[in-house]
Amino acid sequence: MKVINSDEKVKITLKINGEKYETEVEPRRLLVHVLRELGFTGVHIGCDTSNCGACTIIMNGKSVKSCTVLAVEADGAEILTVEGLAKDGKLHPIQEAFWENHALQCGYCTPGMIMEAYWLLKEKPNPTEEEIREGISGNLCRCTGYQNIVKAIKAAAEKLSQTPYPHQ
């Protein structure tokens, strides 16, 4: 086993929204910071303690708070960020539902909330209100009171059931 000096940079490869990225990172660098440095600013930094969910991404098919992952741990991972949901200039049905149902105010939590909703709807295509509330319980919103977020996720589930959107 090779011991890495904490100042020594390590080369990592990430597949983000379908594109391959190679970069060098310090072993102590969090994935959330690396994603933002690569231009994925929809991945928000809210707390650095995994409490808020603003940094939620999909990594290797699972919902992950990117502030809890070292970038070196993500080497070789497939990552989906909110920037990767829209296709050909058309919003993903979840993004449309958030827009149509006024599921945002300041918008800070919105990318993380949308990514959590994406993962939830992949796991449970027709969730109950209780399952939605439980599914987003790790994502904080200080503005909306959650009602419109729940409504938007329910609407997105309906949209996706009528016209399936090609999930990555």
Short-list 63, 64, 13, CA closest to 38: 13
pTM of the model: 0.91
Q: Which strand (E) or helix (H) includes residue 133?
A: helix 129-135
Which of 27-31, 76-80, 103-107, 124-128 has the least mean pLDDT? 103-107
Query: In the predicted model, what is the mean pLDDT of the chain?
Result: 92
- The DSSP letter of residue 71 is G
Tens digit of pLDDT for each residue in 108-131? 999 999 999 999 999 999 999 999
3-class secondary structure, 47: coil
d(CA 64, CA 60): 9
d(CA 8, CA 166): 40
